[in-house]
Structure 1
């Protein structure tokens, strides 16, 4: 256990540079005291790790330090094999590369662990195409040649020229500075800036792409998770989003939440049904989400939504109430 942790500590310092003891403790899920003892052990073993004091201090390795730390234990190999069973590689066009990498991981394992790790990975499934209560999701397709150009520009830090079909607009060529790629529920997004302004593009709407030789204007290091959260918040604040106050059967709460863009507030009602303030993309989205829950949810506001749902229900009742 400690040997694996020491290897992980060295790899963290190699890959991310100077890190504080608190950061290392959080990454390794140990106490800062344990990290300090591990640093001392590495130093005693000849690993050139040193401390920098001050507000921006921490621990780091000498810049030219290299060592072979490529061995995988059983759980590490299993984690890679199971993660490789996900479908994110379909969005980014990395399917063949992932398959090749998984073969190399399996081949690198000791003979005694190879069969066990492969069998264990087959017994764990992440994000299958269908579940017990939902339809099969539709994975957005992007031609491999287009995805390769996008991915290369993102990784290399080059400007990217894309032929993009925005909703309700004629496709246009535009040059962007790519920041990163994100996949959410089988939908891929390109995060970029254009003329210094934040832009988010659906990969399925990129009709063609060309990596340019000019370097992109972007920071060297980013927190992609933070950027994505900020852009999601901005998306919710803009456009034609609709906020609805709704009471819902507790058994169907997750069905409601899964269709909404965001839950802004929630409080219990006197009858045990929670009241939620949820945001939908537009009026059609809101009406569809509430209609599919039938009597397990009631829109309390706005009034136009209640009227629309009542009129739809009346039309259905009239249709099926008439004699055939």
Structure 2
């Protein structure tokens, strides 16, 4: 809408001071010709936009002029909850709303608070995805988010590790965990979690649904992740860790590694300690523990120690052979 764009142009000049036409075009995602037309339209309507010539020139508002047309739309107000995560806001289709909402908020703040807000934005940034991992492609995220908001039934084509399935879903909420989007949805009188990147196709229907009485997304997610952790970590490994291994453990095993170290016994003469670490199934635990290399020794359970020994022996044999 042109009216929204004109207001955004005024707010940009009000919040940032002098800006060039190319800068305004980049912020508003329009052409230079559109910026020139918009500035001319603002001048004709009585907004005192001044043009300064020369290398240091640009557009600015006349001294003392401030607009109070800072009402937020519903979408812009909602997008403020994602103000610390512009990437996820973009994925949800709220990137433009977030930018406009932030401009309006800055314009409405007293000068001292607006300056503080800008300093915070300059000094702190939230980057949700984990290191060394590409973000999931989520082409259906915006459509799913709209269905969550509108409480519309989804017909979904989903890829599981055992094959593809088709489901009728009641989308209850979206969760961003470690840079990965998950949909929490009702299906067949149960609530389940789906990884958004695994949706092959979604179709939003005109049919609405009622949310389960008393359902709270945050409470469900906490209970669900706790249950998953209990299912995954069904056994405990006893390890000896070198001083370097003690530094590596939290890096490789996160909070579980930190808890294990907090309960560690006294170090021996060489600085090695014994810890108890919750691990997943034997096959997964072998791969996870090998990341500690020679800085760890598995003492038990016996079957896990034996599996590590067999894997290490196979690796030693393979690397002992000359390459061809």
**1:207 partnered with 2:206:** no
Confirm or deny that 1:164 pairs with 2:163. Answer: no
Q: What TM-score do the two structures reach when normalised by structure 1?
A: 0.61
2 CA distance for matches of 1:88 and 1:263? 31
Q: Report the more deviating stretch, 305-314 or 185-194.
A: 305-314
Residue deviations 1:19-60 (CA, integer Å, cap 9, x gap): xxxxxxxxxxxxxxxxxxxxxxxxxxxxxxxxxxxxxxxxxx
In 1, the alpha carbon distance for the partners of 2:82 and 2:223 equals 30
Structure 1: 5+ residue stretches without partners: 1-69, 72-79
Q: CA deviation at 1:278?
A: 1.1
- Per-residue displacement from partner, 1:279-307 (whole Å, max 9, x unpaired)? 33x44432221111113333333333322
The separation in 1 between residues aligned to 2:196 and 2:312, in whole angstroms, is: 38
1:137 matched to 2:137? The reply is: no
- 8 Å contact kept, 2:159–2:165: yes
2:264 maps to 1:268: yes
1:25: which partner in 2?
none
Equivalent position of 2:174 in the other structure: 181
Distance 1:90 1:242 in 2: 39
- Per the alignment, residue 237 of structure 2 pairs with 245
1:117-136 CA-partner distances (Å, limit 9, x unpaired): 32331111223667xxxx43
**Conservation of the 8 A alpha-carbon contact between 1:176 and 1:192:** yes
TM-score norm. by structure 2 comes to: 0.61
Corresponding position: 1:301 with 2:297: no
Q: Give the alignment of 1:1-324 within 5 angstroms.
A: 83-85=83-85, 87-89=87-89, 92-111=92-111, 113-127=113-127, 135-143=131-139, 146-169=140-163, 171-219=164-212, 221-238=214-231, 243-247=235-239, 248=241, 249-258=245-254, 267-271=263-267, 273-280=273-280, 282-321=281-320
Mapped partners of 2:100, 2:213: distance in 1: 29
Which secondary structure state, in structure 1, belongs to the residue aligned with residue 204 of structure 2?
Answer: strand
User: Pairwise CA RMSD of aligned residues?
Assistant: 3.6
Point out the structure with max Rg over C-alpha: 2
Unaligned runs of 5+ in 2: 1-69, 72-79
